[in-house]
Amino acid sequence: MDSRQVIGIVLTAGIFGIFFLWLRFQRKQEKAEMNSGVQEITILVKGAYDPNIITVKAGIPVRLHFNRQEHADCSRYVTFEGMKIRKDLKAFGMTDVEFTPTETGEIPFTCDMGMYQGKIVVE
């Protein structure tokens, strides 16, 4: 292999690396779906919350289905700021979190260490 080939391989690997990092940290915004009077959405918990920005309407009950597909300690608990909600998410299973947002604004939620971050946008 000459040095040109090495540079080519390093550049290609670098571009792929940046692309995967971008995929990992990009913001994924979704609207909760209305099902018989409840706003519902499933959030995949695997390396991050996906989606991590969820839009809901004020005054209507919200049910979040956390689908935790990993057993990393980091994502075990999810805490909702200012709401006294802290849930133990079971590994490789679903855990529901329910509440009714009363006013518009943003409700951040994170894992215990703040590595995984998301927010509910109440409109």
Contacting positions for Cu ion (CB under 5 A): 74, 111, 113, 115
Return the residue matching tokens 């995984």: 116
CB of 9 to Cu ion, least distance (A): 34
- Decide whether 89 or 120 has the Cβ nearer to Cu ion: 89
Q: How far is the CB of 33 from Cu ion (least distance, A)?
A: 27
> Would you say 58 or 113 has its CB closer to Cu ion?
113
Cβ proximity to Cu ion: between 48 and 122 the closer is: 48
Cα 74 versus chain centre, distance: 13
CA distances from 37 to 6, 32, 54, 57, 60 (A): 59, 12, 17, 11, 7
In whole angstroms, the minimum distance from the beta carbon of 81 to Cu ion comes to 15
Is residue 50 within 8 A of residue 26, CB to CB? The reply is no
